[in-house]
Amino acid sequence: MQIFRYADNKPMPWKNGKGTTTEIVVAPAGAGLEDFDWRLSIARMEADAPFSAFPGIVRTLAIVDGAGLKLEVTGDAPVTLDQASAPYRFAADQPAEARLLDGPVSNLNIMTRRANCTHFMRRVRFQRELEVSAAGTLLVLCHSGGIEVGGISLGPLDCALIEETEKAALHSSAASSAFLIDIIRN
């Protein structure tokens, strides 16, 4: 298991320069925006903006801070996303534009290269214990509250990476929420 602390990462400009993103973890390690197999990041939007295009990439987005946004992706019906919404999956190579609902937002993004892997993201809320296992790679991102995994505490936006065949119990003494992201190689 590996731990990635949100506070250890620095924001960088979006590929199109219209916002910032904080990369949490990427595979393979050290890969750039053009050659990653998968990438987990948190983007910050201060204004309405188009999303950067990523050819060959599938993306899932979930709001982690702020009121939310309205997202229009070419070929899909417009959707409104907020912190209660299910994560939204779309083709990152299609033109996409976001309009903020009421002020800045931060959104969690998992992106996978179609030719190499796929992903599934879900939000879970729990208190006490939740058993998880990895069929491929499992990312556990603490959204709210505090979570302990393998004796290590995760604060908001910290992430644990659990590899294939590993099982883990998530513990929380108070109501907490997390995103569980399964990444499966093709």
Average pLDDT over residues 148-177: 90
- Count the Cβ atoms, other than its own, within 10 Å of residue 8: 10
Residue-wise pLDDT tens digits, 5-30: 999 999 998 877 778 999 999 999 99
Whole-model pTM? Answer: 0.93
Is there a domain that residue 4 lies in?
Answer: no
- Count the Cβ atoms, other than its own, within 10 Å of residue 95: 12
Instruction: Name the 3-class secondary structure at 7.
Output: helix
Sorted by sequence, the CB contacts under 8 Å of residue 17 that are 6+ apart come out as none
Is there a domain that residue 3 lies in?
Answer: no
Q: Are both 25 and 78 inside the same structural domain? A: yes
Q: Could you give the CA distance from residue 35 to residue 31 in angstroms, rounded to a whole number?
A: 6
Provide the residue range defining the domain that includes 139.
Answer: 118-185
Q: Where are the beta strands (DSSP E) in 15-116?
A: 20-27, 38-45, 49-50, 57-65, 69-73, 79-81, 88-91, 96-100, 105-113
Average pLDDT over residues 43-64: 95
Number of domains in the chain: 2
Give 163's pLDDT tier (boundaries 50, 70, 90): confident
Q: Are both 109 and 126 inside the same structural domain? A: no
Q: Are both 24 and 55 inside the same structural domain? A: yes
Q: Are both 157 and 109 inside the same structural domain? A: no
Burial class (CB in 10 A: 0-12, 13-18, 19+), 103: exposed
pLDDT of amino acid 150: 87
Q: Are both 108 and 127 inside the same structural domain? A: no
User: In this structure, what CATH number is given to the domain that contains residue 179?
Assistant: 2.60.120.10
Quick one: tokens of 31? Answer: 């890969």
Quick one: tokens of 86? Answer: 């299910």
Average pLDDT over residues 134-151: 92
Q: Which of 61, 92, 115 is the last residue of a domain?
A: 115
The identity of residue 112, as a single letter, is T
Q: Are both 155 and 77 inside the same structural domain? A: no
Is there a domain that residue 42 lies in?
Answer: yes
CA-to-CA separations, 124 to 133, 141, 166, in angstroms, rounded? 14, 10, 19
Instruction: Name the 3-class secondary structure at 94.
Output: coil
* Average per-residue pLDDT for the chain: 94
4 with 159: CB under 8 angstroms?
yes
